[in-house]
Amino acid sequence: MKTAYLDCFSGISGDMFAGALLDAGLDLGTLQTALDGLALSGVRVEARPEGRNGIHGTRFLVHVDEAAQPERHLADIRAIIEGSGLADRVKERSLSVFQALAEAESRIHGVPVDEVHFHEVGAADSIVDIVTAALGLDALGIERLVCSALPLGSGFVQSRHGTIPVPAPATLEVLRGVPVRDGGIDVEMVTPTGAALARVFAESFGPMPPLIVEKVGYGVGSRELADRPNLLRLVIGEREDSAQRGEVVLLEANLDDCPPEWTGFLVERLFAAGALDVWLVAVQMKKNRPGVLVQALVEPLDRDRLADVILRESTSLGVRFSVMERRTLAREPAEVTSPWGPLRVKRARDLDGKWRILPEYEACRQVAVTHGIPLREVYTWVYWEAAMRGEGAGPKDGDEG
């Protein structure tokens, strides 16, 4: 799987992301042709080599005749992008970034999403930056993007609304659920556009995954920083093995006064809300009261939303968070033809690259209920079919003799 890692040691902005993609191989002519299809008047792009602290990369500049740029709402930007000749996937991803920005601005200013005025983020240069990022990931064949924790600066910056603190309110709204850290410098290191690009495009946040490095691109920022090179590094490569690494968040809550019916319902709600896994552990709590420890594994971006489920559906007054790394085998859904009709199964790839078929519980359960047969009979057939295909795993391994 073609994977890219965004190393944001000096933060991220839209122009830095675009510059890194160009430096890693995105063709400027291809980009210019795509941008021409946006029909933005008074806009010209430029890519030029520049260095920071002895490291050279690509500086991406968008030259805009501001007099030709009207104030835009989300509907205006949607019309520009949807009316272009961009591929559907590029359109969809670009609009997702603007949707995230609009929702952040809506929460900050207390207005409906469709009434948000895109000032800085809605300017033509940001439209170009966002479309370039979506186009670049697609053109370079990047299937998965992982991003480092984002370093946030401090201080103040001028906006159309006056002086605002750094990080900008819109930046923090966009980054809900995303790992961040102190950047250690009084400048804006993560812009709202950069935050939205990372939030929407990155599958996970954390350390660099194991890669066989193919390309490295540097996007050059506009400032000279005193303590580091103002660059965004993009590392592109193939995964070293079939195991996938990423971050997950463990949610925990102790319950000693919750009816068991509520606890069971809570588990159902957590799974329905997108939890990766949920389990209950019997614990002995203070005053010798027996209790239940609720634990749920969730994606980092789902942390707050699923914590809210625990607080709503139980008697807990608080939820603990633990960020941890995990390693999983590559997997994909599949379907086989069974004696009972098409049957949904799982395929997982071992570390040696060999695929194996595994039963999918809900699909096997439905067959067992519909046909009035034991669940183990359906499972046994799946294991046998896997062995016949050379993709065997599980209890049937070694039983063929």
DSSP-assigned letters across all residues of 132-191: HHHHHHHHTT--EEEEPPEEE--SEEEETTEEEESS-HHHHHHTTTS-EEE-SSSS--B-
**In 206-300, at which residue ranges do the beta strands (DSSP E only) sit?**
211-220, 231-239, 243-255, 277-284, 290-298
Residue 399's pLDDT is: 38
Q: How far apart are CA 285 and CA 90, in angstroms?
A: 52
CA gap 137, 123 in Å, rounded: 22
Sign of CA dihedral 166, 171, 173, 175: negative
At residue 396, the pLDDT reads: 41
**Comparison of pLDDT for 333 and 232, the residue scoring more:** 232
CATH class of the domain at 246-327 = alpha beta
For 171-197, how does the pLDDT look when each residue is reduced to its tens digit (9 = 90+)? 999 999 899 999 999 999 999 999 999
Q: Give tens-digit pLDDT for 19-74.
A: 999 999 999 999 999 999 998 888 899 999 999 999 999 999 999 887 778 888 89
Residue type, 82: E
Q: Is the pLDDT of residue 256 over 60?
A: yes
Residues 224 and 54: their CA atoms lie apart, in Å, by: 12
CA nearest neighbour of 12 among 192, 164, 175: 192
Residue 216 has pLDDT above 70, yes or no: yes
Measuring CA to CA, which residue among 142, 393, 349, 327 is closest to residue 242? Answer: 349
pLDDT tens digit sequence for 292-309: 999 999 988 889 999 999
> What is the side-by-side strand order in the sheet with 277-284?
277-284, 290-298, 243-255, 320-338, 341-349, 355-359
Is the pLDDT score of 121 beyond 80?
no
CB count in 10 Å sphere of residue 197:
31
Mean pLDDT of 201-208: 89
Other C-beta atoms closer than 10 Å to the C-beta of 99 total 16
- Return all residues near 110 (Cβ < 8 A) that are at least 6 apart: none
Question: What are the residues facing 133 on neighbouring strands?
Answer: none
Q: Model-level pTM? A: 0.66
Residue 243: pLDDT above 70?
no
Between 257 and 243, the more confident residue is: 257
Burial profile 236-261: b = 16 or more Cβ within 10 angstroms, e = fewer? bbebebbbbbbbbbbbbbbbeebeee
Q: What is the pLDDT confidence band of residue 13, given thresholds at 50, 70 and 90?
A: very high
Query: Quick check: 327 and 243 in contact, CB under 8 A?
Result: yes
Q: Look at residue 398 and tell me whether its pLDDT is greater than 50.
A: no
CB contact at 8 A, 156 and 167: no
Which candidate, 173, 187, 64, places its Cα nearest to that of 123? 64
Take residue 388 and report the two structure tokens written for it.
């016949």
- CA separation for the pair 195, 355 (Å, rounded): 37
For 331-343, the pLDDT digits (tens) are: 778 889 999 999 9
Q: Which SS3 state, helix, strand or coil, does residue 337 take?
A: strand
Higher-scoring residue by pLDDT: 289, 159: 289
- Which residue spans within 286-340 are E strands per DSSP? 290-298, 320-338
pLDDT recorded at residue 318: 95
Range of lowest pLDDT (12-16, 120-124, 132-136, 247-251): 120-124
Q: Coil, strand, or helix at residue 107?
A: helix
Residue 150 has pLDDT above 50, yes or no: yes
Q: Are residues 80 and 127 in contact, defined by beta-carbon separation less than 8 angstroms?
A: yes
What pLDDT sits at residue 119? Answer: 63
Q: Percentage of residues in the chain with pLDDT exceeding 70?
A: 95
Cβ-contact 358, 336 below 8 angstroms: no
Most confident region among 121-130, 158-167, 220-229 by mean pLDDT: 220-229
Residue 400 confidence (pLDDT) above 50: no
Tokens 């430096």 belong to: 23
Domain ranges of the chain: 2-240, 246-327, 339-396
So what's the pLDDT on residue 1? 74
**Average pLDDT for the chain:** 90
The amino acid sitting at 129 is D
Angle at 52 between CA 48 and CA 57, to 5 degrees: 40
Which positions ≥6 away from 258 have C-beta within 8 Å? 266, 292, 314, 315, 316
At 361-381, the pLDDT tens digits run: 999 999 999 999 999 999 999
